[in-house]
C-alpha cells in the first residue's frame, strides 16, 4: 500500500456530501495531488460547500492515520481507485468506490465473477439451489455474494465445498463481520484464498443504508447477477437493478407462484431477465466455454442421480409424486396418495434418507434430483 496515495484517496473519500461521480470529476480535472493544493476560494467558486472546501484544504490527517493503522491491524489492505490493483470491472460503474478494504487474496478481484444473491429467508430448496449453482459455477467463475444468511451464505458455502473461489462484499467495516453467525464462514473464505471486501471505514457497524451500497459493488464486480430467491421488495432486486444499470446480464431462477420468496425472481423474468435452471444455462448465456471436467461432472451427477432413483423404483412412486417442490403438509400427502397415515410417515422417512425429500416445518418438500 502506497501510504501517500492511500492518504489522499481517503481524504477525498472523507469530503462530506459530495457524490463519488463529482469527486472523480475533480480528480480528472486537476489530478489527485493538485486537487489538494487548491485554495478555499477556488473550491467555493466551483460550487463546493464550505465544509467540502475545508475537507480538501485541511484534511483530517489524524483520522486518516488512524484508519491506515486500523487497516494494518485488521490484516487487510487498502486498494485505491488509482491503484493498478483496482478491478477494471468495477471502474465501469457510475459511482465506483474510491477505496476498498480487502482481507484475503486481493488479486481475486480481477477474476471473472458472477453474483449469486437472494433472500435471507430462503426456503430449503432455494438455499440448496444457490449452493448447487455456486458449486458448479465455481469451476469457471469466482462466486461473489454478500455474506448474508440464506442464499448468500449458501452460495459462499457451495463454492468453498467445491474448492472454488468466492468473494464476500460486506456492509460493515472490514474488521467487523455481520451477521455474527457468519464469522466462521468469513474466516473459511479467507483461508481458502477467497476475499472479504468493504468500502466502509474500519469499525463501521451494520446499518440498513449500507447494504444497497454494498449491492452495487457486488453487481459491479460481476459479469452477471443471478437471483435465486427474492421477494419483490428486497435488496436482491436492488442488486438486479444495479446490474441492469451497469449493463450486465441478470438471470433469475423461476419458482412456484405460491412461494413468496420466488415472486421477485418471477417478476424479473416477466421484465426480461433470463430464466435459468442450471449452471450450464448461465454459462451458455455468458458465452463462456466450460471445461471438460465441468461438463462431465454435471452429466455424471445427473446420471448417478437418475440411476439411484431408477434402481430404487421411485420414478413413478405415487407418494413421491404427492410431495411438491414447495412445502407440502403431511395430510395433503395422505390425501393425494390415498395411503394410511402411518405408512405415509414411514415411507416419507425412507425417502428423506435417500435424499429425495426433506422434512421442514409444516411438512415435507421434494428435492430437485436428476
Q: What is the pLDDT of residue 342?
A: 87
According to the model, what pLDDT value does residue 1 have? 65
Q: Can you tell me whether residue 114 is helix, strand or coil?
A: strand
pLDDT given for residue 191 in this prediction: 97
Which domains does the chain show, CATH number per domain? 3-73 (no CATH), 106-290 (3.40.50.450), 297-366 (1.10.10)
Averages of pLDDT over each 10 residues, the chain, 370 residues: 91 97 97 97 96 98 97 97 96 97 97 97 91 96 98 98 98 96 98 98 96 97 97 93 94 91 94 95 88 42 39 59 87 91 88 85 78
pLDDT of residue 2: 81
DSSP state of 231: -
What is the CB neighbour count within 10 angstroms for residue 315? Answer: 12
pTM of the full structure? 0.82
Q: Is there a contact between 138 and 236 (Cβ–Cβ < 8 Å)?
A: no
Q: Please report the DSSP string for 156-211 in residue order.
A: HHHHHHTT--EEEE-SSBTT--SSGGGHHHHHHHHHTT-EEEE-BPTTPPP-TTHH
Which candidate, 370, 365, 353, places its Cα nearest to that of 126?
365
What does the radius of gyration of the chain's CA atoms come to, in whole angstroms?
24
Residue 368's pLDDT is 65
Query: Whole-angstrom Cα distance, residue 243 to residue 200?
Result: 21
Q: Where are the alpha helices (DSSP H) in the chain?
A: 3-13, 20-30, 32-35, 40-45, 50-57, 61-73, 88-91, 124-137, 151-161, 183-191, 210-221, 235-245, 263-270, 279-286, 292-311, 318-321, 330-337, 341-353
CB-based contact 129:164 (threshold 8 Å): no
Distance CA 288, CA 202 (A): 37
Closest to 181 measured CA to CA, from 161, 201, 206 = 206
Amino acid at each position: 500500500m502506497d501510504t501517500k496515495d492511500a492518504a489522499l484517496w481517503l481524504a477525498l473519500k472523507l469530503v462530506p456530501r459530495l457524490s463519488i461521480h463529482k469527486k472523480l470529476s475533480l480528480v480528472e480535472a486537476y489530478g489527485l495531488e493538485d486537487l489538494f493544493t487548491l485554495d478555499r476560494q477556488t473550491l467555493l467558486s466551483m460550487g463546493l460547500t464550505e465544509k467540502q472546501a475545508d475537507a480538501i484544504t485541511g484534511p483530517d490527517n489524524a483520522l486518516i492515520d488512524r484508519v491506515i493503522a486500523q487497516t494494518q491491524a485488521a490484516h487487510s489492505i487498502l486498494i485505491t481507485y488509482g491503484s493498478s490493483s483496482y478491478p477494471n470491472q468495477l471502474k465501469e460503474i457510475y459511482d465506483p468506490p474510491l477505496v476498498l478494504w480487502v482481507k484475503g487474496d486481493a488479486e481475486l478481484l480481477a477474476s471473472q465473477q458472477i453474483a449469486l444473491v437472494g433472500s435471507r429467508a430462503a426456503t430449503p430448496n432455494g438455499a440448496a439451489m444457490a449452493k448447487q449453482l455456486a458449486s458448479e459455477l465455481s469451476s469457471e467463475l469466482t462466486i461473489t455474494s454478500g455474506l448474508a444468511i440464506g442464499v448468500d451464505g449458501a452460495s459462499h458455502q457451495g463454492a468453498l465445498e467445491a474448492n472454488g473461489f468466492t468473494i464476500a462484499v460486506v456492509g460493515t467495516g472490514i474488521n467487523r463481520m455481520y451477521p455474527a453467525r457468519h464469522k466462521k464462514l468469513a474466516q473459511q473464505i479467507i483461508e481458502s484464498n477467497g476475499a472479504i471486501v468493504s468500502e466502509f471505514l474500519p469499525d463501521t457497524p451494520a446499518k440498513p443504508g449500507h447494504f444497497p451500497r454494498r449491492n452495487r459493488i457486488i453487481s459491479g464486480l460481476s459479469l452477471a447477477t443471478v437471483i435465486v430467491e427474492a421477494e419483490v421488495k428486497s435488496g436482491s432486486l436492488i442488486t438486479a437493478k444495479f446490474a441492469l444499470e451497469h449493463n450486465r446480464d441478470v438471470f433469475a431462477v423461476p419458482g412456484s407462484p405460491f412461494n413468496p420468496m420466488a415472486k421477485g425472481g418471477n417478476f424479473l423474468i416477466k421484465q426480461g431477465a433470463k430464466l435459468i435452471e442450471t449452471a450450464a444455462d448461465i454459462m451458455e448465456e455468458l458465452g463462456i466455454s466450460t471445461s471438460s471436467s465441468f461438463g462431465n461432472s454435471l452429466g455424471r451427477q445427473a446420471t448417478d442421480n437418475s440411476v439411484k432413483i431408477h434402481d430404487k423404483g421411485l420414478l413413478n412412486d405415487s407418494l413421491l409424486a404427492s410431495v411438491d417442490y414447495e412445502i407440502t403438509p403431511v395430510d395433503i400427502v395422505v390425501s393425494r396418495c390415498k395411503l394410511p397415515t402411518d405408512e405415509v410417515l414411514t415411507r416419507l422417512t425412507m425417502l428423506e434418507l435417500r435424499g429425495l425429500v426433506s422434512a421442514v416445518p409444516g411438512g415435507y418438500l421434494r428435492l430437485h434430483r436428476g
